[in-house]
Every structure is written in C-alpha cells, then in structure tokens.
C-alpha cells in the first residue's frame, strides 16, 4: 500500500467520458489499497477559451484578473472528477489551489510554488478519501489567485508528491513515455524505458513537451520518483525518470534530440566591451520578468562586442522594446530581432565520458548545409540555434547520426 | 460623494459588449466621485451550462462539488468586468466570495451569509479602486466553497451594502422596477415608484422575480436603502424600496398581485388529531433541508385531521418520498401529491386598515368559477392556491378588481 500522486492533463479530462475513464483508473488503484491524490488540468480547450474571452475585453489582459479567470478551468475539472469518483462509490473531495493551500509568489501567470500545506489533504486521505487537487494554481501571501503558467499542473503534481512524501508521482499524458525525439518529426523515434533527471531536465527545457521543466526540477530536488504514462492505454510502464546514471555498459552516449521553436533571438550590436555590459543589457529584461535562455557574447572589433540572447516568442516584442529603449544608454550600434529561429539539442549523460559529440553534431549539420547561428553547451547537452526552416531536417539527421533509431 | 453598491445580474453581463456597457455605467458613477462596489452574477446561461455538465457526470450532483463548479461562473465575470473597467482607465480589482471573505453556513447550494469581512474592500476603495465582487458565493468555516442558491447575488449585494454601511444598494436587472404584477401576464401592469419593504418581501417570496427574498430581508434588517433599476436604460429612477408606510392619502389598498407556479402541494390525509402531529409530519421534511411554504390543517372527522403543505417543485419528489416513508408511523390514511397548482396573492400594506379585501378577492375568483384549494393570510397579503390552469386568468381579474390598471 503506497501513496501515489497521479496527474492527468487537459486531453485526459477533455470530456465527461474521458473524466469517467480517469475515475475508473483512479478507482482501480484505490481498490488495490493505495492512497491516491489526483491533480488535474482544465478540460482541453477551456484555458484557451477563457483567454480568448479575456482578450475580447482587454487586448493585453491584466495578469491578476487573467489568473482569476483562467484558474476556473481546473476548478471545474476537480469537481467533475470528484463527482465521477463518487458515482463509482469512491469517496472523493476536491481542492482548489487556494484551499490546499499552494502558496506561491505573486508573479501572476507564471508564479512559483513556495510551499504546500499538506495537512488537510492528509486528513482526508486518512479518512478514506481520494483527494482531487486543481493543478496549475495557487494563492500568494495576500490571498490573490495565481497560476503557474502553461504546464504548471505537472509542477503541482510533483510538489504535492514532495510535500506528502508520496511513493510515486505518475504523470498521465497523451504520449506513453519519453521518446528519443518527437515521433511526429522522426517516425523512427523510440520510447525510452528510463531517462535520468538531468537528461529529462534538458529534454523538457529544450522542447520535448512531455513534462514541464519546473516539475522535473522539483522532482530532482525532492527526490520524487516520477513516471510518465499514457492515460489512453490500460497497460504500459511508461518512462521512469531515474536519479543516477546507470552503470550500464549499453548506456548510449546520446539519449535524445530535443528542439524548440518557441524562442526568438535578440542581438545587440556594437556595444562597448566593458565590465558590466551583460548586466546592463539583461538587467532590464530580467526586471520585466522575462526569462532569457541562451546568451552569447562575441568579441568584436575596436573594443566593441556583439551580444545575443534568446527569449520566449511571447516575450519577444516586449524584450525588443526594452532594448530599443535603452539602446542610446548602452551606446549600441543596433538592436536586431529574429523570430525565425529554432533550437536543436543533443542530450545525454553519456557524453560526459565521450569526446567528439560536438564535432559529430557540427559535421552532421554542415553536411546538410545547415548554418549554426549560436552554440551553447553543458555537461550533458549541446544546443545550436539554426534557421527555423531547417528544424525538421536537423532533427532527423542528428537522430540517425547518433544511432537513436536503432534498438538498444 | 457617497458609497454605492451596484449589483448586475446575469443578463446585464451576458456578453463582452454588455460587460463593457456595465463598465461604462460604473465609470460614469465613479467619475461623479462616488465610491463603487459592484456585485455581479455569472454570465447568463453559464450557471445552467455548468449544472448540465455536472449532471452529465452525476444525475444528482454532489452539493459540495456542484458549488465548487458553479461558483466559477461569477469568478469569470468579476475578472472580465475588472478588465473592462481598466480599459476605461478605472482602477479595479476583483474578489471571489472566499477572498472577501463572505462567511456562510455549510448548506451547500443554499447557504446563508453569516458575516462579511469588509476590511480589504474598504482598503481598496480608499486607494481609489472600484471593487468587483462575485455574487452568489461564499466560504464556510472550513474554507469550503458555498453558493447562496439562485438569485443569491442580490443577497450578496445587500449584505455588502450593510457591512460597508453604503448609502444605497442598486439592483440592476432586466426590468426597470417593480410592477403591480408580471406585465407578460397583464399588459396593463404599472411600475411602482416605491414599495414598502414588507410588501416587497411578500412580492418577492410570492414570485415577482425582481429581487430574491433573502436580499429584501437583509435590506430590511440592516436598513439598506434598496433600489431596483434597469441595466438597459440610461435614465430612470426604478423602484425604491421604502422602510415606512407612507402617510399618503392616495396610498392604494393593494400594491400588487404576486403569483408563483413553482410550488407543489402535499396532503397527508386522516392522521390522528393529537398534539405534536404537525411536528411529526414537518420535522422530517425540515431535517431534509426542504423549505415549506403554506401549511394548512383542517379539522376532520372522528378525531382525525387532514394536513396540507406546499414545497418547491424541486423538492416535491423528495418530500413526497419522505412522507410515504413515515406514513405507517403517522398512522395516516393516505399521502397525496399535486404538482398542478399555483399560488396567487394580493399584497398591500393598505389592507391593514381596510376590511373586505379578502371577501373581494374570493368573490372575484368565484365569479370566474375558480376554485380555491388553500388560503393563507398575513397582515399585508392574502394568498390562495388554485388549479395551475387558472393562474393567468386569476391574476388578470384580480389586477382589475383592485384597480391596479389605473394610474395613481
């Protein structure tokens, strides 16, 4: 008998029939004697419907009020799933983020979880309830409703599993696990039985949209056993996220090819190459709560330097306007934006002990005539920014070059 | 400069355009220097949509979970109206019932307000905000979400006005005031410039669906100046609800004809006529949280009595089942239900000082061949239960008989 946190995404609860399916699955686990906490997203389409409605009133909806609206999506789902469980004779009780209380900071539409009060949930579990919690949402210190941003329900699930010291956090989604790359781009992509946390972190942040990055960080930090499964298949083990690099001889060098089309590039050209310039450029961007991903600074001519970075496309206009605004102050020659880019990454803990991954990657892309605009590396991944139109081609040739299409 | 609470119903906020209209009206009052608290209902149709969705999962939705769902309707509207106000340059901030905090008992789907914490609202008013509050909802002591039942947004408005000691509570609706009866049944019905609280109480409880009864009780108890207005007309004074009977010579005897088709009748026949029998019959009904309206006990033959009462049609099956269940215990001959009834009432504070209202009412109905099944009287109203099919006819002949079609 264990305590399991299960998270079901919007597609899994997209209709009354699907909600009943989820209820049946939860009831099956419950019948096996497990304690179950279920975290659910809004029904698929509902969040977008609410955002569209808000935009009919305000082109740029006020973030606080947008969170008040959007959080209703999950609130409806927790009630419906609780009802569906009761219909199966299972005691169930719903919680909003505020009722739990999932305490967050006040960064509306992209809040971060600060703490979770698990007392009420534990009490309900002890009295035999399945507890159904609204994902994606919380409240700040003043009781304002916040949301965690897209995909935040995963984070809620993992954070709850951590707070409750659950035995496993199962993320049910419309894919049946983590693949070597997106099968829609490379049909030969294979499902991985397990992947390390570090790799998953890189895969998630780089665009393999199986899990939200913050949920993986949380899981790693609190050592939550995390498993990705399909909500549409009755059987299947999914992909387990492991903590340590397996000592396996067969450990592949590269686990997968990740990619991301959601970023845009901003280049500040010809700024004086002096200490503090990076902070002068990125400080105002960070102050506007815009996350920056890749950052590259090239040595330029005559004491000048070129500075490039990438941001999410949603923040692109805002970031560009900020930099155009401070361009005179920076004494920069020019500020240039480019939305037509994509990022492709090879990820694998195996590359730590293998040289030559980078050169093989660059050679493979060069052979296809794909120009590399930016490069960034970490211990277990190499990312390049390329022209967006070459994205699919790059993913496919890299998948083959690193032997990911072969069974291991 | 005064503090005004304005309440807008579902039809008034039924679309983005209508929400913008409400925002313009609020902004106009704000520009005049008034402090404004706005209470809104869910967009028209939304509550029914949510209830239907719940019923797809559970034929009899769990009341706690139903309230979790249904309360999202107003939560969406407060956010949208706040956004619309900001678009007009008006500072605005939304509150859910729980955020206010509107404390209620735990009678899900028909909770009663126990207290309102007005501190946060007052702070926001002082800092120049229009405060937009979700009507119809609250939280109980344990933080569970509750709703006040249909029409509860009026009660929220009045309760807030009382807590804030507002100068006036304006209820905006799709009618422009209180009429002598429903104009859809009697086209000659006239709008009343004012009506007493007591009359309004009788009119509301008896089916003139302008204001919810509990809101009128609240207003009377806390002496809240209450005004009913149309949200679709720019001008107009609506109908003011007054505290004291005006000393006006022209005071009509009867202010209006109210009616109600939402009740059903249950008769317990042939129970022993002994002390405590009324409690034995109605105790179990009250325990099931079913409200009883008219109660009649007739003296019968041989130490037996017939006992009749009316309940809302929604509670009819439940109440009937309860009584059939205890019929042997009651030693009753029979328990009979009748859903084909309607209640018609003449209401007026003037009848206190005039005799003959009852006889005129009964004569008027008799002349049309309408049989009276039950009679109930109070100081300012006389109600009769008749066959539902005669309802419209009864309303029209009584409206004429008491001279309500003539201008005063």
* CATH number of residue A147's parent domain: 3.40.1160.10
| Nearest-CB residue to A16 (from B57, B65, B144) | B57
Highest averaged pLDDT of the listed ranges A176-185, A294-303, B135-144, B371-380: B135-144
pLDDT higher than threshold 70 for residue B42: yes
Per-residue pLDDT at B206 = 58
Q: What domain count does chain B have?
A: 1
Per-residue pLDDT of B281-291, as tens digits, reads 999 998 998 98
Among chain A residues, the shortest Cα distance to B87 is held by A58
CA distances from B298 to B270, B304, B375 (A): 10, 9, 12
| Nearest-CB residue to B72 (from A61, A76, A82) | A76
Per-residue pLDDT at A408 = 60
Could you say which DSSP state residue B39 is in?
E
A121 CB-contact burial (10 Å; exposed 0-12 / middle 13-18 / buried 19+)? buried
pLDDT higher than threshold 60 for residue A364: yes
Per-residue pLDDT at A299 = 73
Contact B82 A75 (CB under 8 A): no
Among chain A residues, the shortest Cα distance to B54 is held by A80
pLDDT higher than threshold 70 for residue B368: yes
- Confirm or reject contact between A181 and chain B (CB < 8 A): no
Per-residue pLDDT at B170 = 95
- Tokens 């880019």: give the residue: A341
Mutate: best of A83, A95, A102, A131, partner B, most B CBs <10 A? A83
pLDDT higher than threshold 70 for residue B228: yes
**Higher-confidence position of A286 and B68:** B68
Point out the least confidently predicted range of A128-142, B13-27, B161-175. Answer: B161-175
Per-residue pLDDT of A267-316, as tens digits, reads 999 898 887 888 889 999 989 989 888 888 877 777 888 889 999 999 99
Structure tokens given for A282: 């990125």
**Cβ proximity of B373 and B385 under 8 Å:** yes
Contact A69 B80 (CB under 8 A): yes
pLDDT higher than threshold 50 for residue A386: yes
Contact A53 B98 (CB under 8 A): no
Query: Of the candidates B86, B88, B83, which has an alpha carbon nearest to the alpha carbon of residue B28?
Result: B88
**Cβ proximity of A139 and A97 under 8 Å:** yes
Among chain A residues, the shortest Cα distance to B50 is held by A76
Point out the least confidently predicted range of A29-43, B109-123, B339-353. Answer: B339-353
Contact B62 A76 (CB under 8 A): no
Per-residue pLDDT at A235 = 77
**Once rounded to an integer, what is the mean pLDDT over residues B298-317?**
87
Per-residue pLDDT at B162 = 94
Among chain B residues, the shortest Cα distance to A87 is held by B58
What are the chain A neighbours of B96 within 8 Å (beta carbons)? 68, 145
- Confirm or reject contact between A84 and chain B (CB < 8 A): yes
**Once rounded to an integer, what is the mean pLDDT over residues A135-150?**
93
Instruction: Output the average pLDDT for chain B.
Output: 90
Point out the least confidently predicted range of A219-223, B204-208, B358-362, B376-380. Answer: B204-208
Domain annotation covers residue B282: no
| Nearest-CB residue to B72 (from A75, A87, A93) | A75
**Once rounded to an integer, what is the mean pLDDT over residues B287-311?**
85
Per-residue pLDDT at A176 = 81
Confidence category of residue A340, pLDDT binned at 50, 70, 90: very high
**Once rounded to an integer, what is the mean pLDDT over residues A142-161?**
91
Query: Of the candidates A264, A330, A267, which has an alpha carbon nearest to the alpha carbon of residue A298?
Result: A267
Query: Of the candidates B60, B110, B17, B27, which has an alpha carbon nearest to the alpha carbon of residue B318?
Result: B60
Per-residue pLDDT at B202 = 83
- Confirm or reject contact between B54 and chain A (CB < 8 A): yes
pLDDT higher than threshold 90 for residue B359: no
- Confirm or reject contact between A145 and chain B (CB < 8 A): yes
Domain annotation covers residue A114: yes
Among chain B residues, the shortest Cα distance to A142 is held by B99
- Confirm or reject contact between A66 and chain B (CB < 8 A): yes
| Nearest-CB residue to B78 (from A50, A68, A86) | A68
Contact A75 B68 (CB under 8 A): yes
Query: Of the candidates A176, A179, A180, which has an alpha carbon nearest to the alpha carbon of residue A404?
Result: A180
- Confirm or reject contact between B79 and chain A (CB < 8 A): yes
Confidence category of residue A206, pLDDT binned at 50, 70, 90: low
Contact A19 B83 (CB under 8 A): no
Confidence category of residue B249, pLDDT binned at 50, 70, 90: very low
Per-residue pLDDT at A355 = 73
Nearest-angstrom CA–CA distance, A135 and A101: 12
- Confirm or reject contact between B141 and chain A (CB < 8 A): no
Per-residue pLDDT of B77-88, as tens digits, reads 999 999 999 999
**Higher-confidence position of A7 and B173:** A7
Instruction: Output the average pLDDT for chain A.
Output: 90
Contact A83 B76 (CB under 8 A): no
**Higher-confidence position of B398 and B210:** B398
% of chain A beyond a pLDDT of 90: 65
Confidence category of residue A42, pLDDT binned at 50, 70, 90: very high
Range of the domain at A139: 3-174
**Once rounded to an integer, what is the mean pLDDT over residues B30-38?**
96
Domain annotation covers residue A151: yes
Query: Distance from A120 to chain B by nearest Cα, in Å?
Result: 10
Among chain B residues, the shortest Cα distance to A88 is held by B58
Domain annotation covers residue A23: yes
Contact A19 B53 (CB under 8 A): no
Highest averaged pLDDT of the listed ranges A32-41, B220-229, B378-387: A32-41
Per-residue pLDDT at A249 = 46
pLDDT higher than threshold 60 for residue B104: yes
Per-residue pLDDT at B278 = 85
| Residue contacts between A and B (CB atoms, under 8 Å) | 101
- Confirm or reject contact between B63 and chain A (CB < 8 A): no
What are the chain B neighbours of A82 within 8 Å (beta carbons)? 62, 65, 68
Contact B54 A79 (CB under 8 A): yes
Domain annotation covers residue B104: yes
Per-residue pLDDT at A208 = 59
- Confirm or reject contact between B377 and chain A (CB < 8 A): no
Partner residues linked to B116 by β-bridges = B102
**Once rounded to an integer, what is the mean pLDDT over residues B117-142?**
96
- Confirm or reject contact between B19 and chain A (CB < 8 A): yes
Mutate: best of B42, B47, B57, partner A, most A CBs <10 A? B57
Contacts of A111 (CB under 8 A, 6+ apart): A67, A104, A105, A138, A140, A146, A147, A148, A149
**Once rounded to an integer, what is the mean pLDDT over residues B327-349?**
93
Query: Of the candidates B386, B387, B405, which has an alpha carbon nearest to the alpha carbon of residue B396?
Result: B405
Say what the pTM is.
0.75
DSSP B257-292: EEEE-SEEEEEEEEEE--TTHHHHHHHHHHHTT--E
Contact B66 A79 (CB under 8 A): yes
pLDDT higher than threshold 80 for residue A349: yes
- Confirm or reject contact between B86 and chain A (CB < 8 A): yes
Per-residue pLDDT at B150 = 65
Return the ∠ at Cα A176 (arms to A175 and A182), rounded to 5°.
Answer: 50
Domain annotation covers residue A366: no
| Nearest-CB residue to B99 (from A16, A78, A143) | A143
Return the ∠ at Cα A304 (arms to A299 and A308), rounded to 5°.
Answer: 60
Per-residue pLDDT at B83 = 98
- Confirm or reject contact between A89 and chain B (CB < 8 A): no
Contact B62 A72 (CB under 8 A): no
């Amino acid at each position: 008998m264990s305590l399991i946190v299960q998270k079901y995404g919007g597609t899994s609860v997209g209709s009354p029939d699907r909600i009943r399916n989820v209820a049946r699955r939860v009831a099956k686990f419950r019948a096996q004697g497990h304690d179950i906490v279920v975290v659910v997203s809004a029904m698929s389409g509902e969040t977008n419907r609410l955002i569209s409605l808000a935009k009919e009133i305000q082109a740029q909806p006020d973030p606080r009020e947008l969170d008040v609206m959007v959080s209703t999506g999950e609130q409806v789902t927790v009630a419906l799933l609780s009802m569906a469980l009761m219909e199966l004779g299972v005691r169930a009780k719903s919680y909003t983020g505020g009722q739990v209380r999932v305490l967050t900071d006040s960064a509306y539409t992209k809040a971060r979880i600060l703490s979770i009060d698990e007392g009420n949930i534990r009490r309900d579990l002890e009295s035999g309830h399945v507890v159904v919690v609204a994902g994606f949402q919380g409240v700040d210190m003043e009781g304002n409703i916040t949301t965690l941003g897209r995909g935040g329900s995963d984070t809620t699930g993992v954070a709850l599993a951590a707070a409750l010291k659950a035995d496993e956090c199962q993320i049910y989604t419309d894919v049946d696990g983590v693949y070597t790359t997106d099968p829609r781009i490379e049909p030969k992509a294979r499902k991985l039985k397990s992947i390390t946390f570090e790799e998953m972190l890189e895969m998630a942040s780089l665009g393999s949209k199986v899990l939200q990055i913050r949920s993986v960080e949380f899981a790693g930090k609190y050592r939550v056993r995390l498993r990705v499964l399909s909500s549409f298949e009755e059987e299947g083990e999914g992909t387990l996220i492991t903590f340590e690099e397996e000592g396996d001889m067969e450990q592949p060098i590269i686990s997968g090819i990740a990619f991301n089309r959601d970023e845009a590039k901003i280049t500040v050209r010809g700024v004086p190459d002096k200490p503090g310039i990076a902070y002068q450029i990125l400080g105002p961007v960070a102050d506007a709560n815009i996350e920056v991903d890749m950052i590259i600074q090239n040595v330029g001519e005559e004491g000048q330097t070129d500075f490039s970075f990438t941001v999410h496309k949603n923040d692109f206009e805002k970031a560009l306007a900020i930099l155009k605004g401070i361009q005179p102050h920076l004494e920069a020659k020019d500020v240039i934006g480019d939305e037509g880019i994509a990022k492709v990454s090879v990820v694998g803990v195996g590359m730590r002990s293998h040289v030559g991954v980078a050169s093989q990657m660059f050679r493979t892309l060069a052979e296809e005539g794909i120009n590399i605009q930016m490069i960034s590396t970490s211990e277990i991944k190499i990312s390049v920014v390329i022209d967006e139109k070459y994205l699919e081609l790059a993913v496919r040739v890299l998948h083959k070059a690193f032997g990911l299409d072969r069974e291991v």
